């Protein structure tokens, strides 16, 4: 009997750890910043004015291994489609829901290949940015 251990999701990408499949994330980094405007003052040092929070960015890595039923040939095209669509996707890691994020980039390190040249092991680093407010691309897609 298989034990389904769902660790989270990013859009259609599940993060799992079970007897049937292992596709986990690691090295989660979250960056939060504030925005400030700088005003020049004649004869004095500039003055900072708090404008508001910046969008949160995140990065993490996933290991894709065919022998663990997380084939790079299945995940990499899906990530490419998510990147090129520009759409925001829900992010859930562990018990925490972070909201909607866009995939702003990813790098793939293809480690091993089988006898016919297919990648069977890859490490992927994802870069995400919080999606807030109005999306012109999504608005235009909804109009069609």
| Residue 10 pLDDT exceeds 90 | yes
pLDDT of residue 133: 63
Can you tell me which residue has the tokens 């990013």?
10
Return the percentage of the chain with pLDDT > 90, whole number: 69
Question: What is the average per-residue pLDDT within 116-138?
Answer: 85
pLDDT of residue 1: 40
For the chain, the straight-line distance linking the first and the last C-alpha, in angstroms and rounded, comes to: 46
**Residue 110 CB neighbour total at 10 angstroms:** 15
Structural domains of the chain in order of their starting residue, each with its CATH number: 6-143 (2.40.30)
Q: What pLDDT band is residue 21 in, cutting at 50, 70 and 90?
A: confident
Separation between Cα atoms, residue 20 and residue 26, nearest integer Å? 19
Q: What pLDDT band is residue 4 in, cutting at 50, 70 and 90?
A: low
Q: What pLDDT band is residue 81 in, cutting at 50, 70 and 90?
A: very high
C-beta of residue 109 within 8 angstroms of C-beta of residue 61? no
Dump pLDDT digits (tens) for 82-110. 999 999 999 999 889 999 999 999 999 99
Q: What pLDDT band is residue 37 in, cutting at 50, 70 and 90?
A: very high
């Amino acid at each position: 009997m298989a034990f389904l251990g769902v660790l989270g999701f990013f859009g259609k990408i599940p993060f799992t750890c079970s007897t049937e499949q292992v596709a986990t994330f690691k090295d989660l980094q979250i960056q939060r910043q504030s925005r400030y405007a700088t005003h020049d003052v004649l004869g004095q040092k500039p003055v900072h004015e708090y404008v508001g929070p910046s969008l949160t960015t995140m990065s993490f890595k996933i290991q894709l291994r065919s022998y663990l039923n997380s084939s790079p040939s299945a995940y990499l095209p899906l990530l490419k489609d998510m990147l090129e669509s520009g759409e925001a996707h829900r992010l859930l890691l562990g018990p925490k829901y972070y909201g909607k994020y866009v995939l702003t980039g990813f790098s793939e390190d293809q480690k091993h290949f089988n006898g016919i040249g297919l990648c069977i092991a890859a490490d992927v680093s994802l870069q995400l940015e919080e999606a807030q407010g109005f999306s012109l691309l999504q608005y235009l897609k909804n109009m069609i």
